[in-house]
Every structure is written in structure tokens, then in C-alpha cells.
Amino acid sequence: MIEPIPAIDLIDGKCVRLTKGNYDSKKVYSNDPVEMAKKFESFGFKRLHVVDLDGAKSHHVVNLKVLQQITTSTKLSVDFGGGIKSDEDLTAVFDSGAEYATIGSVAVTQPEKFLTWLEKYGSQRLILGADEKGGFISINGWKEESKQTLFDFLNTYINKGVTHILCTDISKDGMLQGTAVKLYQQIMSRFPACQLIASGGVSSMEDIILLDKAGIPAVVFGKAIYEGKISLEEVAKQFKLKVS
């Protein structure tokens, strides 16, 4: 069964969402991401995806304080991404309680550094962020498009030992128009052993169920919750989460 993972995106310490990664489209949904995390936990979720959008824009981690507050206030297993560019950034993220770190841009621009991190922390703690647009990987908060194709990128790192992948179809992100289920099926077909987390476009419970039927291991979703398209109650019921 697919693992549903709610998301919290951070700007100025607030819970926000963007559309297709456009910072001008920012919409604030909560001034208290810690309370939001506690709410997710109360509905039985075990994982939380946290994105430091300030960090992605600034090229270094910014919202460490919020991460610390979430990890000390809940038992959620947090994966944190956005702005992790240096050894110091990554150390600080793990020291702040994150169980996983999602790395995208460094894997493109500094592959040797990423492989060093992979060797040091292991494939169980590093998630390869594969943010895709038109078949190519985008980096630095999706503001730059690399010359690496999605499948070459994945193939390179899976051969180096990566097992966890977060793939976002940028054209779908925040659009509430359905996910890139065919793309995720292609990834699973090519790399059946990978722990793929689908991201972008979830608009309804039906979208999550479709991904589940397609054999996708996990899905991240956020805007659909905040916009009331999906209720936490129905996710908990569908996936038999233990509500407290």
C-alpha cells in the first residue's frame, strides 16, 4: 500500500504553497507550521515532507528553527529539503532532528560531494530529489534547468547506490489537476527496486488511489489538503491510519 506523506513548505517560518515553484504565487495557509505538523500526526501520519523554500532560494538552509520545533514537538519522521548545499547545511539538518535529507541541486552541480554524502550517511537517509520539467532536471528552487535528462540522472545515481527518490513533475505542482502517474510508472518500470516518492498535482483521493494501484511506494501532497480538496479524515480512513 502506498504511503501518504503530507507536506509543509516554509517561507518566513510560515506554511505556504506555490504554483509550479513560482514564488510570486505564494499563498500562506498557516502561521504555525508546528501546529500543522501536530495535526498531521494526530491523524496517524508517520512521515512529513518539509521544504525550506527560503533555503532553496538562498542556496543555504534557512528554516532550521522550524525543523527543530517540529522534530521536538512530534514523533513524525521528517524528510527535509531546500537549500542543502554544504556539509554544514546537511549536518545541521540531521542535528535538528530530520531523519532524511532530500538533495537535488548538489547531485546535479557537485556529484562528487553528493556521493561523499551518500557514502557517509547511507542510502537510507539521503533522498535524491529529481525535479523534472520537460524531461530535464531543474535545480536551485526550480529556477534553473540543467542539461541532465531525468532518466540519465536517475540511472547514474541508482547505479551508485541511491534507493530513495523524490520525483516532482514541476508542470503539475500546485495545479490540483492530477499527477504524472504515467511518468512514475515509467520510473518504476525502469527501476523496480527504487523507493519512489511521487510529488506534484495531487488534487483528490482518487489521484492517490490511482498512484496506489500503479504500485507507487509513496506520495507527497499538500495543496489539496490546504485547499480542502482532500480531508485528513478520508486519507486516514482509506489507509487505515491510527487517529489519536
Catalytic residue among 54, 131, 173, 207: 131
Beta strand extents in the chain (DSSP E only) = 3-11, 14-19, 22-30, 47-52, 77-81, 100-103, 126-133, 136-139, 144-149, 164-169, 195-199, 218-221
How confident is the model at residue 170, as a pLDDT?
80
How confident is the model at residue 172, as a pLDDT?
72
In the chain, the domains with their CATH numbers are 3-238 (3.20.20.70)
How confident is the model at residue 23, as a pLDDT?
87
Catalytic residue among 9, 54, 79, 89: 9
Taking the model in full, what pTM does it have? 0.94
Tell me what the mean pLDDT of segment 120-138 comes to. Answer: 93
Task: Tell me the average pLDDT of the chain.
Answer: 94
Q: Is 9 a catalytic residue?
A: yes
pLDDT tens sequence across 68-104: 999 999 999 999 999 999 999 999 999 999 999 999 9
pLDDT tens sequence across 172-193: 766 667 899 999 999 999 999 9
Q: Is 24 a catalytic residue?
A: no
> Which residues touch 164 (CB under 8 Å, ≥6 apart)?
100, 123, 124, 126, 127, 128, 194, 195, 197
Confidence label for 138 from pLDDT (cuts 50, 70 and 90): confident
Q: How many CB atoms lie within 10 A of CB 21?
A: 19
